[in-house]
Chains A and B, each alone.
Chain A
Amino acid sequence: MIPPHVDRTASSGAPLVRVAGMTKSFGGVKALRGVSLEVKAGEVHALLGENGAGKSTLIKILSGVHSFDSGAIEIDGAPATFNNPAESRNAGIAVVYQDLSLVESLSVGANLMLNREPTTRFGFLKKRELMAEAEDFIKQHNIPLDPRATVGSLPFAYRQMTEICKALMGRVRVLILDEPTSALSSDEEQILFDAVDTVVRQNVGVIYVTHRLNEVFRISNRVTVLRDGANVGTFNTSETDMRTLVAAIVGPKLAKAEAKEPREDERPDGAATSSSKRELLALSGIVNDRLRGVDLSLMDGEIHGLAGLIGSGRTEILETIFALRPIEGGELRLDGAAQHMRGPAEAIEKGVALVPEDRQAQGLVLDHSIERNFSLPRLPHFSWASWVRHGAETEETVAAINRLSIKAPGPSTRVRNLSGGNQQKVVFAKWNNERTRILLLDEPTVGVDVGAREEIYGLIRDAARSGAGVLIVSSDLHELILLCGRISIVVDGRVTATLRRDEFGDAEHLHELIQMSQREQGQAA
């Protein structure tokens, strides 16, 4: 067991928020079994745990969405209860959720001032004052935002920043960030971290929920780890390390298996792969609305990474191969034969599969069962003369649930009721069959907990081992380095370089390479 490391060094009086002995059950299922948490002014307190550990429940209680069964919340030493989100907000607790709550058609300024717009006596909007007020606020917090920009046109990181800004309007004591970086590239992450720094300097306490451990070390002062609805421990970030945290998150049983480095034979060697094997997929000079001449090749059994900033065209390359975007120039060859595919149906026919970036919006029909989602891309396979062979469908779904160790009561469970990691495994299961020859993965582990992440890596390696070519887009450079034999850098709709394992080195080096390509492209333009 890990000894809980209670912090005694920092002593800035009473904590801002104190949660003690919090319990909460949903219909007989204990979500929280006595959780405690203290957040001080001016600290970033990371909250870690696997999906289902109780982080979300705790946050929803703090923000007044849920009530609690027993325990206590104290704000500045005074007991508090919240019956609804408004009461929690009035007490100074502001939450930035994963799914954003902005009006996309309005400007940043209008969004910030929503429901607190300055008006004339007759209720007409004072537009200039609104903008000025918003601009003042943004400047005061040192956040790089233009109040006149339309939210819908902003990159994701800036929308998130707008969201944080909005949360900060009014009196804020505690800011809760729920997986704020799950869709950010590393540069955008930095912008977000700077914004958090600014906030902390104003003596706000920040609760930072995340799945990414390296962020914990970059940004937090203390870490609290939850498992199965109970505290595992609270650590001073400077006094702990990755291994300890992983062990705390996954529990004593699994710790050894999860924390280990991949063995040598699990790392495909790019050089050997590309010389001895067949070329499954080749793009030469592919041009369309978002791509400006992409050259790329994928061998069988290869795991090939696409690195680059968000908006660089990484996702669009995958979408073009999957025939979601028309090709206007250049040539796409599968097994050496030029292709003119008119839609995903044809691409799937040819053995191409895409695990999209947003599994809830693009990968799954959330209201339908695992079984129905599983069989969707291969309905003809599961039918006889167009009549569904339900027995075969159930049989194969159950087999896939076992093979991918999806945690679900059964094949008829609605996908909506699964955790993020298990949902992602269902998306993988859809394509986990012998017909998939080219597997396109877009951010395959976003919002997936540590344990499930390792299992997904295993699935990716298995696919490559059985001869499929895997093309993987990820903002997590560690992930690309862990998995890939080759990595291509995408800048501004082009592949600027394709690197072998001995060339891309570690995450820092790779990050530098991306930055350099970005700059070179900028100068060339």
Chain B
Amino acid sequence: MTDRLVTTAVAPAPEQRRASTLVQTLLRSEWPWMLYLAFVVLLVVFSFASPWFLSIDNFLNIGRQTTLVSIAAIGMTFVIIAGQIDLSVASTLALSGMAAALAMSHLANFWFVGALAGLGTGALVGLINGTLTTRLAIPSFLVTLGTLSAARGLAMMVTDTKPVIITNERYFRIFGEGNLFGLPAPIAWTLAATIGGVLLLHYNIFGRRIYAAGGNPTAALYSGIQIKRVTTWAFVLTGALAGLAALILSARSHAARPDVVQGMELDVIASVILGGCSLFGGRGFILGTLLGSLIIGTLNNGLVLLGVSSPMQLIIKGAIIVAAVAFTKR
């Protein structure tokens, strides 16, 4: 019995309807056009403000710097649409990097051994997050707050906080420094994760189940969706993508360190929300997330080029994130 009801009950004149549909698509569609506008404005402002900003090299630079956040945010999109949150991504990333490096230095120095160890460790942390959340019915905010701390602790404990050197050239090329399909490896992996995410979320029934589980868990249950299983898989996916990000980071720095990317989960969550996901679940899309992370990356890059001091950068970034979300949330 809402007002909108009245609109459906009484049909407006056709031309009126067409005009209002257009306005509605712009304002209410799942694609937040304001976000694209914000990105364009940001690009224009930085282009005028800094002579170094508008160049292919700088954009590749932004892409490389944003890789870690972008990849982790694609996983986070699944978790947030499922109505959950994962605070542990940064710690999972650190732990996965350690696992990959240790596997190559102690087990066998092949690139795929490191890759498997990194992805597997990430997925395992995700499995633990998902299982605790769904089987013990603990809110994921608390579960992942726990693993945020525990995974970081474990990463530091395995080598007594010392970094682990990686010596596998192949590994560096595949994940860090080489080119894949003509693109710098980190950007190629971001693209791969994006395409995979789009397919899985928007074209696979797994995605449909994720949306339903977050949109209305009760209705999903009553429709025969196994919410616990679906939600757990979302966490596993996020963990595995954090693992992929760990491979890229460790390949770039030729070593794994247990104290990397502290606090990155905030940028990751901000990207997802900026990209149009609802924190309450059931709404959002992958390309929005990618754009969200690029906005944050561009902001970081542009502010550095303008010579803004790093405390001031944090303040500006915070203000812009809140403002952008306020604008995109009609």
Interface residues, chain A, CB within 8 Å of chain B?
Answer: 26-31, 51-57, 60, 66, 98, 178, 228-229, 322, 324, 343-345, 347-349, 354, 356, 361-368, 372-373, 375-377, 379-380, 382-383, 386-388, 390, 407-409, 413, 416-420, 422, 430, 447
B282 touches A367 (CB 8 A): yes
A408 touches B8 (CB 8 A): yes
**B1-25 with Cβ < 8 A to chain A:** 1-10, 12, 16, 20
In the assembly, what is the distance between CA of A362 and CA of B212, in Å?
A: 12
A344 touches B205 (CB 8 A): no
Q: Give the contacting residue for A388; candidates B1, B5, B204; CB below 8 A.
A: B204
Report the interface size for chain B: residues with CB under 8 A from the other chain. Answer: 35
A54 touches B205 (CB 8 A): no
- B76–chain A nearest beta-carbon distance, Å: 20
Is B208 part of the binding interface, using a Cβ–Cβ cutoff of 8 Å? yes
B10 touches A376 (CB 8 A): no
In the assembly, what is the distance between CA of A420 and CA of B1, in Å?
A: 7
In the assembly, what is the distance between CA of A387 and CA of B225, in Å?
A: 16
A419 touches B8 (CB 8 A): yes
Chain A: which residue is nearest B23 at the CB level? A27
Which 6 pairs between the two chains have the least Cβ-Cβ distance? Answer: A52-B9, A365-B215, A348-B224, A31-B6, A379-B205, A345-B224
Chain B contacts for A31, CB-based, 8 A: 3, 6, 10
A-B contact pairs, 23 of them (CB 8 A): A29-B7, A29-B10, A53-B9, A54-B6, A56-B3, A57-B6, A98-B1, A324-B222, A344-B221, A354-B222, A365-B211, A365-B216, A367-B215, A368-B212, A372-B211, A375-B208, A376-B212, A376-B220, A386-B205, A387-B204, A409-B8, A417-B5, A422-B8
Chain A contacts for B20, CB-based, 8 A: 27-28
In the assembly, what is the distance between CA of A342 and CA of B223, in Å?
A: 14
B10 touches A418 (CB 8 A): no
A367 touches B283 (CB 8 A): yes
B6 touches A362 (CB 8 A): no
Chain A contacts for B282, CB-based, 8 A: 365, 367-368
- B109–chain A nearest beta-carbon distance, Å: 37
Chain A: which residue is nearest B214 at the CB level? A365
Given contacts A28-B16, A344-B222, contact A383 B205 (CB under 8 A): yes
Is B192 part of the binding interface, using a Cβ–Cβ cutoff of 8 Å? no
Chain B contacts for A52, CB-based, 8 A: 5-6, 8-10
In the assembly, what is the distance between CA of A30 and CA of B209, in Å?
A: 38
In the assembly, what is the distance between CA of A98 and CA of B208, in Å?
A: 31
B7 touches A51 (CB 8 A): no
B9 touches A345 (CB 8 A): no
Given contacts A345-B224, A372-B211, contact A407 B6 (CB under 8 A): no
Chain A contacts for B5, CB-based, 8 A: 51-52, 56, 417-419
In the assembly, what is the distance between CA of A229 and CA of B10, in Å?
A: 9
- A144–chain B nearest beta-carbon distance, Å: 29
Chain B contacts for A419, CB-based, 8 A: 1, 5, 8-9
Chain A contacts for B12, CB-based, 8 A: 28-29
Is B226 part of the binding interface, using a Cβ–Cβ cutoff of 8 Å? yes
A386 touches B206 (CB 8 A): yes
In the assembly, what is the distance between CA of A419 and CA of B221, in Å?
A: 23
Q: Give the contacting residue for B204; candidates A26, A178, A377, A386; CB below 8 A.
A: A386
In the assembly, what is the distance between CA of A496 and CA of B105, in Å?
A: 73
Q: Give the contacting residue for B9; candidates A51, A324, A347, A382; CB below 8 A.
A: A51
Q: Give the contacting residue for A362; candidates B4, B8, B16, B218; CB below 8 A.
A: B218
Is B203 part of the binding interface, using a Cβ–Cβ cutoff of 8 Å? yes
**B237-274 with Cβ < 8 A to chain A:** none
Chain B contacts for A324, CB-based, 8 A: 221-222
Chain B contacts for A53, CB-based, 8 A: 9
In the assembly, what is the distance between CA of A30 and CA of B223, in Å?
A: 37
In the assembly, what is the distance between CA of A220 and CA of B290, in Å?
A: 59
Q: Give the contacting residue for A345; candidates B7, B205, B225; CB below 8 A.
A: B225
- List 11 additional contacts besides A54-B6, A376-B225, A377-B223; criterion CB under 8 Å: A26-B6, A52-B10, A98-B1, A229-B6, A324-B221, A344-B222, A354-B222, A368-B212, A379-B205, A386-B205, A387-B203
Given contacts A354-B222, A365-B216, contact A388 B2 (CB under 8 A): no
- B102–chain A nearest beta-carbon distance, Å: 35
